[in-house]
Structures are given as structure tokens and as C-alpha cells.
Structure 1
Amino acid sequence: MTSRAFSPPALTSSPPAMDAAAEAFVAAIDMGSNSFKLLLARSLPCGRFLPVLRLKEPLPLLRGAAFSGETQTRAISALKNLTLALDPHPVQTLRLVATAAIRECPNRSELLTAITTELGLQVHVIPGEEEARLIYLGVLQFLPVYERLVLLVDIGGGSTELLIGKQGRVLFATSLELGHVSLTENFVKNGDFIGLRRFVTEVIGKSGFVEKSRELGGFEMAIGSSGTVRWIQKAIARDLIDGEFRMESAFSREELGCLVAKLGMGEVDKVRALGFSNRRSKVIVAGAVLLFEIFNALSINEMEVSLYGLVEGVVSEMIAKENVDYDWGANARWRSVMTLAARFDGEHWMKSAIQCVGIAKEIFYGLKRCYELGDISGTPISFDEKEFECLEAALLLHNIGKTIGKKGYHKHSYQIIRNSGHLHGYSSEEIKLIALLARYHRKKFPRNGHGSIQELPAGMRQKFRVLCVMIRIAFALQQCQYMDFEELEVLHAPEGFNVILIGVKDTLFVARGLPVAAVIKSELKPELEHFEEVFHKKISLSFPQKD
């Protein structure tokens, strides 16, 4: 099979947009107690965002201490490095938020004034409860927990945020003066582990969070979102206790307790042996003990880990303010599809799946524009973002059955999607639709009376057939061994629609003595006939050369 020229860069790791003009680049910087973090993201109208650039500048700041001239210089230098990285990108909005260390700094105004004077940047110093809320919004972009009552734990260098939330609303939040940097300085370095546990327990008790949690009826699940929690999960996932590697992203109280015991008194060699970096090794003991005491105080049995937190929450809120219909679950659904696809990415099949998505995107939104601009009657579906999301998911997952066997792999893909339980945030009907689209992307075209189609609700059967036609054309174009083109466009034509393939190479080997265009038309003929059957309009192919 020849390589394809058509593979839009944006689709290598991002969902497509309704209209390129509606996309925007937004950036956020989290000025934390241990480092400054930058996230540049491309926002999409559907509610998803694509992380384009992530950078981190290590800069430990001790909570409650005044910033020296050297510290201020390093902070400004770190921000300058981060903002310079944004120069090549058309960033519409940049927001800087500062947390515990800067919040509690007695001479913070000097630093903030210097940042504004030298860099022209405005820093928003946010209170602990606001920090917790934004972290919660970030978690919603990673895990499909919008409808669940969740407990959020975020351990930072200068403070720990605790929150109980549901449906994007904060029911209760507090910021504890407990951070892994300050606890390390005040207790771990002095070898005072009894004092560390006593102090942590005392601060948690005085916060009233345990009592408030009981008043709210507890929580359905606990989530940790900080770097400390992620490093702990990685160490447990290596399963050094049992000597086997594990893939779960959650860990139990018992597993955390075993890790705390193995960390011992924080001897460097022992900590490094557990897989912690040199920098993280210095503070992980305090973080692990703190988290274990939180588990005990709040009776947490298991914690799920989110890779998203404060900076993603800032970005998502900026995007949501510009989009009244923002879907808080869109990113979490997208991640579940990509995670499942990556899990079965044998022989790098995802690359061809992404190429199919690129082609399907142009067909879907090209037809949408034709119906809207051409005032064509009889629109077969609503052409909304949710429908393309199902089409996109099916294309990204259509290859995963090959891990079982290449013969009949489309049927294996169907079974994996239906039964894996890994597509989070989708309704049962949507999962059926995605599975059926993957099942029928090739081979026999499904008829209305087919048994498997009857599994879908009546209103979804027509949607399935329309999307099925699109997925089959996209797959056929991607698979065509003579296909190598640069652009695809769909236009309204007198008898229906015209798919224009621009820049088709004319130097390829031509089978049976026919022109490349004739071979492509011949191979796509069955799918074009299926299109006419479903849409009740003809569709043709054109092959103009670029000037």
C-alpha cells in the first residue's frame, strides 16, 4: 500500500472542528509552589480542546516566606521563557494564576508589580477555594465524572485542596496549609515523622472537612489530581511490592500504606529505587504520608488518578465562557476513545485510522455546508457535533479487532467496543452506534432489516445508515492503493454532490492500462451507489490538479 499525502496534522491527536474560523488558541500558566506550568491549547466549538504545548519551569517557592531578589529574578525569567514559547502561535487569551506560595508571600506585590512592568502580564492570585474549583473543572476534562458526587484531593507544594463537587458545582471546598514542600522542610528533613503525622491529622481535623463530607452524604469516588498523586500511582502501578507491572490508574488504601512503609524514613537510595526522580524524591515522603492520612481521615478506600488539574481547568473555563453550550464531558469521552484505540494499536494501526478520520471530517462537514448553503431539502441527519463524534470514534476504533485476528477483524472490533466497558461518557445507544459503524465500515453493506441494526432505537437507524455511508467512503479512499492526494472538498452539484480530490498524483503505477482516476472511480463505485441509496442524491468524483 502506498503512503497517503492526505493526513491533516490537526488530526494526529485532536478532534475536528466545525469550522476552522471558530477555533481559538488559549493559554494558561499555573504559578505553583514547586514549578510554573504552561498549557497552550487549541479550543474547538464542540467543547473539546487539544493540548498543543506543555512546558514546565521548576521553581520551588516556600510558602509564607518572603521572596528574595534572586527568587524574583528567577520567577520573571521562568515566565519569560514560557511566554516566549507562545510567540509562534496566535494566542487569543492568556491567563496567569498564582497559588499558595505567592498567595501567602508577604512581599508578593513586589513580584507582581515587576512581572507587570517587565513582561506586561497580569497575574491573578486565586484563593484556595477558587484553586480547588478550577482543579475540579480540569478533572472533568479527563474523567467522565460530571454526574457523580466526587471527592477531589490535590496536593501541592504549599497547600492541599479538598473539594466535593457534582455536575460542575462545588458543594464544599477548602484549602489546607499542608504542602509537600513545607512539610518536608518542617518535618521530614528533621526526621520528625511522628510530628508530621500528628500535624497533618490536626490540620485536617480543624478544617471541618470530614464533618462536612458526612453532611453531604459522603462521596461516590475519590480523585487525586496532583503531581504527587500521579507519582505515587506510578510507583504502585510498577507493583514493586509483588514484582509485576499493572495498568490500573487507581490505587487502594492498602497499596498506599505499603508504599509509605517502603519509603521508610526517606533515605534517598530507597526512594530512588521505587522509581522516583531525584527532584521528586526529596518531597515524596511528605506527600505520601499526607495522602495516607487523608485516606484515613476521610475513609477513602480507593482513589482514581487524573492527569488533568489546575491549568486544564483554567483553559476549560476560558473556553466555556465563549461557548454557552460547552460540553463538560466532551474531553473525557474523547480521551476514553483514544485510550482504547492506543491500547490495541498493534502495528501502528491508529495512523491509518487517523487518516480515515481526516477524510471523513471533510466529507461530513462538506455535506453539512452543502445542505446549509445550498438550501437543499431532505437533510438526512442534523449534522451536529455529537453525530460526528460517534463517526470519529468508530473510525479511530475500527482497526482494534486486528489484535485478535486480521480475518474478520471488523467483527472483532464490534465485540471489543460493545463489551470492553472503556468508552466512558457515552450512552448505551451511542456505544451500540459506534460499534455498529466499526462493524460495517467494510464488507457487506447493512440493510434496514438486518438483525443487528434492529438493536438501535428507531430514530437512530437512519442516522446509522447515513454515517455508515460516510465511514465506508472514507475507508475506501484511505485504502485505495492508487490513492495519493493533497486536499478533499465536497461541493453541491446539479444532481447531488461532487467530491473533489485535489492534487492526485499522476506519476503512480496505473493498473490495467487505465488512468488513475478511472481506477479510483471503479474501486469506489459500490460505496458511491450506497451513498445514492441512502441520501437519494448522486455523488461523483473529480480530480483537478493544483495550479
Structure 2
Amino acid sequence: MQSLFLQQSHDFPFEKIAAIDLGSNSFHMVIAQVSHGQLRITGEFGEKVQLAAGLNDHILDDESQQRGLDCLSQFAQVIEGMPPGSVRVVGTNALRVAKNRYDFIGKAMDIMSHPVEIIAGREEARLIYVGVSKTMDHGDLKRLVVDIGGGSTEFIIGHQLEPFLTESLHMGCVSFRQRFFPDGTITKSNFQKAVTAARLELLSIQDDYLEEKWDVAIGSSGTIKAVFNIVKENNWSKKGITPKCLKQIQKALFSAGHADKIDLPGLKPERKPTFAAGMAILTAVFECFDIKLMDFSPGALREGVLYDIMGRYAESDIRERTVNYMLSQYHIDTEQAKLVTHTALSALAQVKEDWGLNSISSEDLLRWAGLLHEVGLGISHSRYHKHGAYIISESDMPGFSQQEQQALANLILRHRRKFTQSLNFKFTKSDQQDLDRLSILLRLAILLHHDRKEGDMPIFTLKADDKHLHADFLPGWLDGRPLTLANLQSEADYLSAVNYTLTFS
């Protein structure tokens, strides 16, 4: 299995980048050339894997996993040789809810030399909005963006490049097909039941979204793309999707009576099994939000991921904004955080070759952990490392994958007290070793600044091998700092519990 820390340090731009979306209904890949900060799509690939159809009691069955792996084997041929960091693979709702998702991810990462990231629903919504806003210009108008997927539906209100509201609801065309159209039969009764169920889901966000208001409604991805193509093919509207268009499509569905018998010009055969379910969700959205017209955006999640790759190598990395927001939100002592971070990164620079911590991901995680290690103090000083880990693991953190959040929470949990503390999260053996070593460097930096003296920067050299770290301080420096000396001795005891040795002089 490939490591989350695989990404190597190098400057952007890449000549070519790729985004792979492991959706609940379909797997998609888009390849783009990058020139002067602009993207040019050079290849698009997709397959109806229907991963969510293989979910039983939140367990992915072998057949659905194999369909996904077969598809990824084809994708792997296209991205073979692309450097680490130039490809992002994101998993959405089906992998979010699957209890055995890491079994599938492990197999997937054996096929592709790029890590698979599971993204939270609101992060998926943010990336969808990035894709829409980068491909459609609505000037000063506020947008409502709706994306109906296989297992979830995302809703975003934003202005220009900035989203205001982001939500992800647990309803999609695959899950609704299984609930309301399991054998493909389509009647007014089961269609209306699906619409009612979708409206009940929408109740949780309806008031907030109607209060925020918007100027234009935009749809993206599978179901809405299919509806838009049908409307266009039948010349039912020149501007986009209207309530009247939906009524005409519903009439055709009821007339067909079964998914296999749907006869709508513009509808692809592979879309038929899930189309009635997606239409029911879209009908509920139109009714709840009183939408009179919806346009279609060709850009969505995959395009958003591409632009996010570019942003991570520029000043626009959304993750940096998220960390800065949390520094302010939780009233963290920024001067202390900066001192700890500076010392931790100095330590990393000295041992990264010996400990194999050369990746951008390692440096980023250590920096963010240094800045946020006291985030839990806003709750209580007692066990604040545990409070901090909970905040990081459970918060909506735009730009972060679930694995990145859990890795960051792991570092914050273990920055003090027993080193053997752990979260209920499965890391690869290689990743866990990297996290152990980053934790040691963070702990060392924190104890060297335990006295919280701003002008007192420790000067030291580090040497590391497999399970040993030696710190060499300026002659006499520790003699005048008995608290630091005691903390180092205590730290050596903590680390010995996990077979690491810390020596100092």
C-alpha cells in the first residue's frame, strides 16, 4: 500500500495533473495540462461502478469492490509515471459510510501509486463549488449550486469564488433507487414517496438557504446533466431546466413504467436504472427552494479537485486559511504557537533525511500541529490535548481530507503525556511510523518552550537513526534551565515505552 506521505517536495507547476473521483455511482478521472496557471482538459474517463449498490449494512460487498478495482486498473494505465502530488484521488459518500472502506482503499492504493483520500460531505460541497465557479462566470450574482450524486446531494450558496453555505445530505440516486425503485418499476406512488422522503431531508437546510437567497440556480454532475441533456435534445427550454420540463420528464417516466422502458431522447442507457430516483430528488429540490430555472455547469467535483491541486502549491491553499481561522476561533496564543512551530520545523530539517520525512505532507502536518497544538485549551487545561484532538477530528476543516484531519488529530493528541495514546483510526504501518516521528519532534519543540519565554530560542543539533534521537545543546545551556532538563528526562521515559530512546547533552 502506498503512503499518505508519499508526496515529494518540488515546485509547481506540473506539466500534467489529474483528479480521480471515486463516486457512489460512477468513478471518473480527468487529466489536464497546466500552462501559465490555466488548465486545459486533455482527457476524461468514467465508468458506472455503482459502488453504493454494493453496500449492505454499511459493508461493501466483494462484487462492488471488484468493479471499482477493475475501473481503477484502467485509470492506473493512464496516470502511470505521473509524479506524486500531481494526482489526487478522492472518495465520497459510499466510502465515507462503508465500515470496510480501508480494505478497499488498501487494494486501490496497491493498484495506483497515489494515496486515496476520503473527503467529508461539506468538503465535497466546497470542491464542487470551486469547480463550478472556475468554469462559469456569473459576475456579481449569488449562486445556488446543487449536485445530485449516487449517495449524497450537495448544496452550496456562494458569490464569485467564495462559498457561504455548504451542506451534504444523505440522499442520492443510487440509495434512492434501492429504497423506492428496487426492481426498476416506476409508478406515481413510489415516485411521490421518493419526492416526499427527499423533502424531509431538505427540511434541515431549507430555512437557512431560503433566508440566504440567491440570484441563479446551477446544477452539476450526473442526474442534472442527464435532465439538462433531455431538455436540450427535446427543445423543451432554451434557457435551462424549468418546473414544466420536470413535469414532462415525469410524464414520460410514468408512461414507461419501468427503468428499462424509459424512452427519452438525450438519456444515455447506463443512466436509466438510477434516473427516476435522481429525478425525484431534483423535483423535491425545485419544490422546496421554489426554483424557476436551473442552468447546468460542466465543471464540478473533478474540476474543483484539479484547481485545488494548483492551490496547494500557491498562496491560495485553503488549508492554510482553515488553520488561520482556527487560530482565531479558539483564541490560541499565536506567539507561543509560532515559537513551537519554528523549533519543530528546525528539528525536522535536521532529521528528515535520516528518518525519511522528506515529503511536503510531513512538513505541512508538523507545521499545522505546532500552530494548533493548544486548540483544546479553549475547553479546559485539564486533558486539553484530548480536547484538541477531538476538535480537530470532528470539525469541518475546508481543504482537509479525513485522513489529513485524523493525522493532525493524532499529532495533537500525543503532543504531551503518554506517547502510547491513539485514536480509533487505521493508518498504514509506514504512515504510523512517520506520525510517531513527527510526534516526537513536536513534543521536543513543546517541552523546549515550556517556560513560554518569547526571546529564548533553543540552539541545538539533532542526530537520528531508526529508533534513536540525540539532541546536542550549546555548552551550559541546560545547566541554567532545570525545568527543561527535567522535562527532557521525563520525555525519555515516555518514549522508552514505544522503544524509542532520547539522549541529550
Alignment TM class, shorter chain as reference? 0.5 to 0.7
Name the amino acid aligned to 2:242.
S
- CA shift, 1:317, in A, is 1.4
Q: In structure 2, what is the equivalent of residue 232 of structure 1?
A: 227
Contact 1:25–1:90 (CA under 8 A) maintained in structure 2: no
In structure 1, what is the Cα distance between the partners aligned to 2:14 and 2:44? 19
- CA shift, 1:67, in A, is 1.6
In structure 2, what is the Cα distance between the partners aligned to 1:247 and 1:262? 17
Q: How does 1:176-195 map to 2 (within 5 A)?
A: 176-189=169-182, 191=185, 192-195=190-193
Name the amino acid aligned to 2:201.
V
Contact 1:237–1:249 (CA under 8 A) maintained in structure 2: no
In structure 1, what is the Cα distance between the partners aligned to 2:307 and 2:156? 18
Q: In structure 2, what is the equivalent of residue 38 of structure 1?
A: 29
Name the amino acid aligned to 1:144.
D
Shift in CA distance, 112/146, structure 1 to aligned 2, threshold 3 Å: farther
Structure 1: segments with no counterpart, 5+ residues: 1-20, 240-244, 327-547
Worse-superposed segment, 143-152 or 260-269: 260-269
- The one of 138, 161, 174 aligned to 2:167: 174
- The one of 124, 136, 143 aligned to 1:150: 143
Contact 2:155–2:167 (CA under 8 A) maintained in structure 1: yes
In structure 1, what is the Cα distance between the partners aligned to 2:22 and 2:129? 17
In structure 1, what is the Cα distance between the partners aligned to 2:63 and 2:14? 40
Q: In structure 2, what is the equivalent of residue 255 of structure 1?
A: 245
Deviations 1:456-507 (A, max 9, x none): xxxxxxxxxxxxxxxxxxxxxxxxxxxxxxxxxxxxxxxxxxxxxxxxxxxx
Shift in CA distance, 70/271, structure 1 to aligned 2, threshold 3 Å: closer
Give yes or no for the alignment of 1:299 onto 2:294.
no
- CA shift, 1:304, in A, is 0.7
Shift in CA distance, 112/262, structure 1 to aligned 2, threshold 3 Å: same
- The one of 69, 75, 78 aligned to 2:68: 75
Question: Residue 114 of structure 1 aligns to a residue in which SS?
Answer: helix
In structure 1, what is the Cα distance between the partners aligned to 2:155 and 2:253? 25
Shift in CA distance, 307/185, structure 1 to aligned 2, threshold 3 Å: same
Q: In structure 2, what is the equivalent of residue 163 of structure 1?
A: 156
In structure 2, what is the Cα distance between the partners aligned to 1:138 and 1:101? 21
Q: In structure 1, what is the equivalent of residue 38 of structure 2?
A: 48
- CA shift, 1:320, in A, is 2.7
Contact 2:147–2:221 (CA under 8 A) maintained in structure 1: yes
Q: In structure 2, what is the equivalent of residue 219 of structure 1?
A: 214
Name the amino acid aligned to 2:286.
F
- CA shift, 1:310, in A, is 0.4
Shift in CA distance, 95/142, structure 1 to aligned 2, threshold 3 Å: same
Contact 2:16–2:34 (CA under 8 A) maintained in structure 1: yes
In structure 1, what is the Cα distance between the partners aligned to 2:166 and 2:61? 32
Give yes or no for the alignment of 1:286 onto 2:256.
no
- The one of 289, 304, 315 aligned to 1:313: 304
Question: Residue 318 of structure 1 aligns to a residue in which SS?
Answer: helix
- CA shift, 1:266, in A, is 4.2
Q: In structure 1, what is the equivalent of residue 262 of structure 2?
A: 271
Q: In structure 1, what is the equivalent of residue 422 of structure 2?
A: none
Contact 2:29–2:44 (CA under 8 A) maintained in structure 1: yes
In structure 2, what is the Cα distance between the partners aligned to 1:181 and 1:151? 23
In structure 1, what is the Cα distance between the partners aligned to 2:281 and 2:66? 32
Shift in CA distance, 94/266, structure 1 to aligned 2, threshold 3 Å: farther
Name the amino acid aligned to 1:248.
K
Compute the TM-score of the two structures, normalised by the length of structure 2. 0.55
Give yes or no for the alignment of 1:95 onto 2:88.
yes
In structure 1, what is the Cα distance between the partners aligned to 2:282 and 2:34? 34
Shift in CA distance, 248/141, structure 1 to aligned 2, threshold 3 Å: farther
Shift in CA distance, 55/288, structure 1 to aligned 2, threshold 3 Å: same
In structure 2, what is the Cα distance between the partners aligned to 1:117 and 1:170? 35
In structure 2, what is the Cα distance between the partners aligned to 1:116 and 1:198? 40
In structure 2, what is the Cα distance between the partners aligned to 1:263 and 1:72? 31
- The one of 58, 72, 82 aligned to 2:48: 58
Contact 1:233–1:249 (CA under 8 A) maintained in structure 2: no
Give 1 or 2 for the bigger CA radius of gyration. 1
In structure 1, what is the Cα distance between the partners aligned to 2:177 and 2:67? 22
Task: Give RMSD over aligned pairs.
Answer: 2.4
Shift in CA distance, 211/69, structure 1 to aligned 2, threshold 3 Å: same
In structure 2, what is the Cα distance between the partners aligned to 1:189 and 1:72? 21
In structure 1, what is the Cα distance between the partners aligned to 2:93 and 2:287? 25
Deviations 1:98-134 (A, max 9, x none): 0011111121121112223453431110011110110
Q: In structure 2, what is the equivalent of residue 105 of structure 1?
A: 98
- CA shift, 1:87, in A, is 3.2
- CA shift, 1:29, in A, is 0.2
Name the amino acid aligned to 2:287.
N
In structure 1, what is the Cα distance between the partners aligned to 2:93 and 2:156? 16
Contact 1:223–1:304 (CA under 8 A) maintained in structure 2: yes
Shift in CA distance, 22/85, structure 1 to aligned 2, threshold 3 Å: closer
Contact 1:28–1:95 (CA under 8 A) maintained in structure 2: yes
- CA shift, 1:146, in A, is 5.7
Contact 1:161–1:173 (CA under 8 A) maintained in structure 2: yes
Q: In structure 2, what is the equivalent of residue 493 of structure 1?
A: none
Contact 2:92–2:121 (CA under 8 A) maintained in structure 1: yes
In structure 1, what is the Cα distance between the partners aligned to 2:52 and 2:149? 11
- The one of 207, 210, 216 aligned to 2:206: 210
Contact 2:137–2:160 (CA under 8 A) maintained in structure 1: no
Compute the TM-score of the two structures, normalised by the length of structure 1. 0.51
Name the amino acid aligned to 2:90.
V
Shift in CA distance, 299/115, structure 1 to aligned 2, threshold 3 Å: same
Shift in CA distance, 266/27, structure 1 to aligned 2, threshold 3 Å: farther
Contact 1:249–1:305 (CA under 8 A) maintained in structure 2: no
Residues matched between the structures, number: 297
Contact 1:164–1:171 (CA under 8 A) maintained in structure 2: yes
Name the amino acid aligned to 1:223.
I
Shift in CA distance, 41/157, structure 1 to aligned 2, threshold 3 Å: same
- CA shift, 1:188, in A, is 1.8
Name the amino acid aligned to 1:232.
V
Contact 2:192–2:280 (CA under 8 A) maintained in structure 1: no
Contact 2:132–2:300 (CA under 8 A) maintained in structure 1: yes
Deviations 1:330-367 (A, max 9, x none): xxxxxxxxxxxxxxxxxxxxxxxxxxxxxxxxxxxxxx
Name the amino acid aligned to 1:228.
T
Name the amino acid aligned to 1:80.
S
Contact 1:43–1:319 (CA under 8 A) maintained in structure 2: no
Name the amino acid aligned to 1:237.
K
Contact 2:243–2:292 (CA under 8 A) maintained in structure 1: yes
Worse-superposed segment, 117-126 or 133-142: 117-126
Of all paired residues, the percent bearing the same amino acid is 28
Shift in CA distance, 112/297, structure 1 to aligned 2, threshold 3 Å: same
In structure 1, what is the Cα distance between the partners aligned to 2:217 and 2:67? 36
Shift in CA distance, 282/249, structure 1 to aligned 2, threshold 3 Å: farther
Structure 2: segments with no counterpart, 5+ residues: 1-11, 318-505
Name the amino acid aligned to 1:53.
G
